[in-house]
C-alpha cells in the first residue's frame, strides 16, 4: 500500500498540474504518515538533499550563464558561428546549432542556451524568410547539446545522486564526444530540412572576417578551457570552477566587452536567485522522495523485475531508455536525475554497465525530455521566444527528434563514445 500512496499521489498531483516540487513533497509526506514514521523525516531529508557542498556549483554556473548573456559574450559567439557555417545550406540554422554548442560549453544550461541563442537567432531567422517553426525546432534541439558539455550542472546533480561515487571530471570528459556527435547530427538534419524548404545560405564573409570574429569571441571561448582544464587536471573542483566562471564572466563583461551595466548585473543576480530557488526546492523534495524509495527497497524490486524479462545488457538498456524517455515527458530534468539515479544506477551496475557511461545516457534521455510536452521546459522557452504555439512546433519537430534518438542509440550501445576520452586521463 505504501508504494501505491507514494507513486499514486505523485502521479495524480502531477496530472492535475501541481508544480513538481509540491508533488514530490506531498507524496513523500503522505507516505510517511501512512507508514507511521515521524513526519519530520521528510524535512530532514529535504534539508540534507540541499545541504551538499558540491551543490553550490549549480547557482554559480547559473549566475555565470546569466552574466554571459547580458555581457555580450553570447552575441559574439553567435557572430563567430555565423562566420564559420553561415554559408552552408540553411545557413542561419547551422549558425544556431554551432552557437548553441559554443555557448553550451560555457553556460552548461539548456534553458540558458535556448533563451540566449534563441533570443538572438529566432528573430533574425524570421526576418530572413525562415519559418518560425523551423527556427524554434532548431533552437530547442540544439539547446540540449549544452547538457552534454562541461560545465553541465546536471552532471554534478548526477554525481551527487549517485552518492558522490562518480567523478564529475570523468562525466565532464565523457560528454564531449556525444555532445559534438549530437551537434553534427542536428546540423545534418537542419541542412536536410532547409534544402527541402528552400531556405537560403548566407554569403561567406572571408577568412579575415572569420579571424576577427574568432578573436572577438576568444575571451568567452577561453572559459571553456579554464573550466574543463582546471577540473580535469585537479587544480580546482567543479564547485570552485563555478566561482571562477562567475568572476571571469564578470570581468569579461565589465572590463573587456563593457556591455554589462549595473541594471543588467542586478537582473542577472535576481534571475540566478529565482532559478536557483526553484531548482533547489525540487532537489530537496526529490531527495525525500528518493529516501522513501530506498527505504521501501524499490531498487531491489526493479532489478528483480528487469531480470525476469532479460539479463542481456542490450535489452536492459533498451528498457531503461524507454522508461527514461517516458519519464522525461512529464518530469523536469533535475527531479528526474535525482529520483531515477538511485533507482536505476544499481540496476545497470548489476548488469555490468559503467556508471559514467550510464550518466551520459541518462542526461541525454532527460535532455530529449525537455522538448516533449507536457513538461518540456526548453520547448516552452523556445516557443515563447519564437512566438508560436507548442502544437505548431510539435508538427514539424520530428526530424530533429529522430536525430537525437539516433545519437542516443549510438551513445547507449557504443560505450567507447563516452568512455574513450576519460580513459586517456587515467
Torsion sign (Cα): 331, 337, 338, 342: positive
Predicted local distance difference test score (pLDDT) of residue 374: 67
Q: Which residues contact 73 (CB under 8 A, 6 or more apart)?
A: 103, 106, 217, 219, 220, 249, 252, 253, 257
- Residue pair 179/83 in contact (Cβ under 8 Å)? The answer is no
Helix H segments across 131-206?
132-143, 153-161, 168-174, 176-197
pLDDT in tens, 396-425: 889 999 999 999 999 999 999 999 999 888
Q: Rounded to the nearest 10 degrees, how much is the dihedral formed by the CA atoms of 128, 130, 133, 139? A: -70
Predicted local distance difference test score (pLDDT) of residue 375: 67
Query: Who wins on pLDDT, 337 or 70?
Result: 337
Q: What is the mean pLDDT of the chain?
A: 83
Query: Who wins on pLDDT, 286 or 176?
Result: 176
Predicted local distance difference test score (pLDDT) of residue 413: 94
pLDDT in tens, 32-71: 888 888 888 888 888 877 777 667 777 887 788 778 777 7
Q: How confident is the model at residue 391 (pLDDT cuts 50, 70, 90)?
A: confident
Query: Which DSSP letter does residue 332 get?
Result: -
> Average pLDDT for residues 196-218, to the nearest whole number?
83
Amino acid at each position: 500500500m505504501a508504494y501505491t500512496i507514494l507513486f499514486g499521489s505523485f502521479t495524480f498531483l502531477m496530472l492535475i498540474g501541481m508544480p513538481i516540487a509540491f508533488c514530490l513533497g506531498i507524496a513523500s509526506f503522505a507516505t510517511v504518515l501512512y507508514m507511521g514514521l515521524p513526519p519530520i523525516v521528510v524535512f530532514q531529508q529535504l534539508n540534507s538533499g540541499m545541504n551538499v557542498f558540491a551543490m553550490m556549483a549549480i547557482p554559480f554556473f547559473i549566475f555565470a550563464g546569466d552574466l554571459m548573456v547580458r555581457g555580450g559574450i553570447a552575441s559574439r559567439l553567435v557572430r563567430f558561428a555565423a562566420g564559420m557555417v553561415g554559408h552552408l545550406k540553411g545557413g542561419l540554422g547551422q549558425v544556431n546549432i554551432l552557437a548553441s554548442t559554443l555557448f553550451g560549453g560555457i553556460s552548461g544550461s539548456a534553458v540558458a542556451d535556448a533563451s540566449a541563442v534563441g533570443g538572438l537567432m529566432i528573430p533574425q531567422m524570421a526576418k530572413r524568410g525562415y519559418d518560425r517553426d523551423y527556427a524554434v525546432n532548431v533552437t530547442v534541439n540544439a539547446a540540449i547539446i549544452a547538457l552534454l558539455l562541461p560545465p553541465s550542472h546536471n552532471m554534478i546533480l548526477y554525481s551527487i545522486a549517485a552518492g558522490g561515487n562518480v567523478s564529475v571530471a570523468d562525466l565532464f570528459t565523457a560528454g564531449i564526444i556525444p555532445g559534438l556527435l549530437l551537434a553534427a547530427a542536428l546540423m545534418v538534419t537542419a541542412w536536410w530540412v532547409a534544402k527541402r524548404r528552400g531556405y537560403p545560405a548566407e554569403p561567406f564573409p572571408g577568412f579575415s572576417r572569420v579571424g576577427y570574429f574568432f578573436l572577438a569571441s576568444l575571451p568567452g571561448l577561453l572559459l571553456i578551457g579554464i573550466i574543463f582544464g582546471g577540473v580535469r587536471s585537479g587544480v580546482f573542483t567543479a564547485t570552485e570552477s563555478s566561482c571562477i566562471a562567475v568572476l571571469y564572466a564578470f570581468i569579461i563583461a565589465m572590463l573587456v566587452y563593457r556591455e554589462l551595466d549595473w541594471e543588467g548585473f542586478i537582473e542577472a543576480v535576481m534571475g540566478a536567485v529565482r532559478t536557483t530557488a526553484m531548482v533547489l526546492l525540487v532537489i530537496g523534495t526529490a531527495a525525500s522522495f528518493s529516501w522513501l524509495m530506498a527505504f521501501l527497497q524499490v531498487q531491489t524490486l526493479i532489478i528483480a523485475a528487469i531480470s525476469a524479462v532479460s539479463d542481456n545488457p542490450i535489452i536492459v538498456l533498451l528498457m531503461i531508455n524507454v522508461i527514461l524517455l517516458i519519464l522525461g515527458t512529464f518530469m523536469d530534468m533535475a527531479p528526474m536525475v535525482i529520483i531515477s539515479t538511485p533507482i536505476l544506477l544499481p540496476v545497470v551496475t548489476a548488469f555490468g554497465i559503467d556508471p559514467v557511461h550510464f550518466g551520459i545516457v541518462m542526461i541525454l534521455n532527460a535532455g530529449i525530455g525537455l522538448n516533449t510536452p507536457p513538461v518540456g521546459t526548453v520547448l516552452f522557452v523556445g516557443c515563447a521566444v519564437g512566438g508560436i504555439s507548442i502544437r505548431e512546433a510539435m508538427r514539424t519537430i520530428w526530424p530533429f527528434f529522430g536525430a537525437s534518438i539516433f545519437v542516443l542509440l549510438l551513445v547507449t550501445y557504443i560505450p567507447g563514445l563516452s568512455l574513450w576520452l576519460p580513459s586517456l586521463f587515467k
